[in-house]
Amino acid sequence: MVDKKTTEHLFSGEMLWYCVKAKPKQEGSATRLLRSELGLEVFCPKIRFKRARSTGIVWVNEAMFPGYLFVRFVYPELYRRVAATRGVAKTLSFGGRPCVLDEAIITDLRRHVADGEIIEISSEIKEGEEVKVIEGPFVGIRALVSRILPARDRVAILLNMLGQEREIEVAHSALLPDLHHPLAG
């Protein structure tokens, strides 16, 4: 027997939040099209952080939940049009029933997101933090920050070399902090 509560949203005219699976790396285009073509409310939070590239450090925006976006719509009226939108793979479902998200979940996520949909992860380096060396002879090595030397724009880090810890100084720009997810405790 099917529980009436779990299926009533399938036949209601109520605007509810659903989790929509996007095609790989198409969260942005799916979001734009769902907003512009269907006029739907879409929430696709992103994280902004610095990443080392061969050309240097660059700011990167990535989906906080890669492959997923949250869309508010009346399911019986629009589920086919949502699924047919370019960049959308499907509406997430369990047991053949679409997964409805509680409004409180979206509200809580939005509280953590500045500027509408972007959370910026600080790239500030602090004493005692683990960092990754991104340029110079120690590239790729993780180290611990022992001192910040602001006058010379340098940082003293502790490296474990040949079984002993050694403190060396490197340029501030040669380091990236060990990044953590913004919603992690």
Could you tell me if 20 and 108 lie in one domain?
yes
Could you tell me if 52 and 100 lie in one domain?
yes
**Containing domain of residue 80, as a range?**
4-120
Cα–Cα distance, 63 to 28 (Å, whole number)? 9
With CA atoms as reference, report the closest residue to 169 among 139, 151, 147: 147
Q: Is residue 163 part of a domain?
A: yes
Q: Where are the alpha helices (H) located in 16-168, listed in sequence order?
A: 27-38, 75-83, 103-112
Could you tell me if 83 and 24 lie in one domain?
yes
Q: Is residue 183 part of a domain?
A: no
Q: CA 133, 139, 141, 146 torsion: positive or negative?
A: negative
Question: How many domains are contained in the chain?
Answer: 2
Cα–Cα distance, 119 to 115 (Å, whole number)? 8
Cα–Cα distance, 130 to 138 (Å, whole number)? 14
Residue 136: predicted pLDDT: 80
Q: Is residue 125 part of a domain?
A: no
**Domain of residue 35, CATH code:** 3.30.70.940
Could you tell me if 17 and 80 lie in one domain?
yes
Could you tell me if 134 and 173 lie in one domain?
yes
Could you tell me if 66 and 138 lie in one domain?
no
Could you tell me if 94 and 136 lie in one domain?
no
Q: What percent of the chain has pLDDT over 90?
A: 34
Could you tell me if 33 and 82 lie in one domain?
yes
- Please list the pLDDT of the chain residue by residue as tens digits (185 residues): 344 444 555 566 899 999 999 999 899 999 999 999 999 999 999 888 777 676 767 788 888 889 999 999 999 999 999 999 999 999 999 988 998 999 999 998 888 776 667 777 666 778 888 888 877 888 888 888 888 887 777 888 888 877 788 888 888 777 877 665 555 54
Residue type, 171: A
Residue 87: predicted pLDDT: 97
Q: Where are the alpha helices (H) located in the chain, listed in sequence order?
A: 4-11, 27-38, 75-83, 103-112
Q: Is residue 17 part of a domain?
A: yes
**Domain of residue 154, CATH code:** 2.30.30.30
| Residue 146 near residue 79, CB atoms below 8 Å | no
What residues pair up with 148 in beta bridges, in sequence order? 155
| Residue 44 near residue 27, CB atoms below 8 Å | yes
Q: How many residues does the chain have?
A: 185
